[in-house]
Amino acid sequence: AARGGLLPPIRSGAYLVTLEMIDYLRKRPQLIHASNLGAELAYTLGAPYNLPCYIYDPVTVDEMLPVYKITGLAEFERRALGHNLNMRAMAHRYAEEHQLSYKGVTLIVVHLGTGIALTLHQNGRIIDMINDEEGPFSPERTGGLPSSLLIDFALSGRYTRNELQNLLKTGGGLMSHLGTKDAREVEGRIKAGDGKAKLIYDAMGLSVARWIGSLAVDVKGKVDAIILTGGIAYTKYFTSMITDHVSFLAPVVIYEGDDELSALSRGVLRVLRGEEEAYILSEEDLK
């Protein structure tokens, strides 16, 4: 089992690693990322022993309903990019722990890491998503920004395209306001009486809560649970702040940290046990 790379938009689940997939990830991935190496590394290890290799729930899983992709500009569609492997694994975990079918529950899963992404799960699909470019700001990312101000900023001549991209992805959020991306350090400042740190950190938490509310509206508030996961889910201060604002919608469940290696193994085990079928990407899929 290997991390899936930046493939074209595909449905969730397991995919057999093929030479065509490897060629795509080498030459024309959606974005440059270390995860593009996963399929080829697994294939290199497995091929001498004739072992099949799989990827599972890559970041480009796209099961969003068409109505949720529409934006106010015809040339743009909302993109489904997120920590799907961990978020879908946590949704499966919730269903298993409550002796429910994943296909029978409606869940909002929030990944709280250096980037923050949210997914809405219904009928076994991720039907809507708030990716880390458009939603709340996070330890490193700016999240959504006012478009007119961003246009002025981008055309100011202060930054190249790459510099601006890096700023939005690694220099935004807590890093921009407080000079650190470490939530533990920020909480330490708050305990020491730093009013600015509290203002910014609380704003980040409230922003997450607002976006949770926006996904709940998609399903008329009929949500079975809200799951908070990722590294920042370890901090009670932050998760309690979110819980206080969204628990009226549904019970809030905390699954701290990332479980991606376990998620990979469990996903492929479902294939080996015949509980799921692995897909094979065709040349048409990889265009």
Residue 230 corresponds to which tokens in the numbers above? 């990722």
pLDDT at site 283: 85
Q: Encode 217-226: b = buried (16+ Cβ within 10 Å), e = exposed.
A: ebbeeebbbb
Query: Is residue 83 over pLDDT 90?
Result: no
Per-residue pLDDT of 163-191, as tens digits, reads 999 999 999 999 999 999 999 999 999 99
CATH class in words for 1-62+260-287? alpha beta
Q: What's the rounded Cα separation, in Å, for the pair 132 and 170?
A: 12
pLDDT at site 174: 98
How many other β-carbons are positioned within 10 Å of the β-carbon of residue 79? 16
pLDDT at site 34: 87
How many other β-carbons are positioned within 10 Å of the β-carbon of residue 147? 10
pLDDT at site 116: 97
52: buried, middle or exposed (CB in 10 Å: 19+, 13-18, 0-12)? middle
Confidence band for 259, pLDDT divided at 50, 70 and 90: confident
Q: Encode 240-257: b = buried (16+ Cβ within 10 Å), e = exposed.
A: ebbbebbeebbebbbbee
pLDDT at site 201: 99
pTM of the model: 0.92
Query: Is residue 75 over pLDDT 90?
Result: yes
Angle between helices 183-191 and 195-218 (to 10 degrees): 130
Closest alpha carbon to 113 in 253, 230, 205: 230
Work out the mean pLDDT of the chain and round it to a whole number: 95
Assigned architecture for domain 84-257: 2-Layer Sandwich (3.30)
Residue 28 corresponds to which tokens in the numbers above? 């024309």
Domain range summary for the chain, segments of one domain joined by +: 1-62+260-287, 84-257
- Mean pLDDT of the region 264-276: 92
Same topology, domains 1-62+260-287 and 84-257? Answer is: yes
Q: DSSP class of residue 37?
A: G
Using DSSP bridges, classify how beta strands 2-3 and 54-56 pair: parallel, antiparallel or unpaired: parallel
Residue 33 corresponds to which tokens in the numbers above? 């990322």
Q: What's the rounded Cα separation, in Å, for the pair 265 and 280?
A: 19
Using DSSP bridges, classify how beta strands 107-112 and 116-122 pair: parallel, antiparallel or unpaired: antiparallel
pLDDT at site 32: 85
Per-residue pLDDT of 20-61, as tens digits, reads 999 999 999 988 888 999 999 999 999 999 999 999 999 899
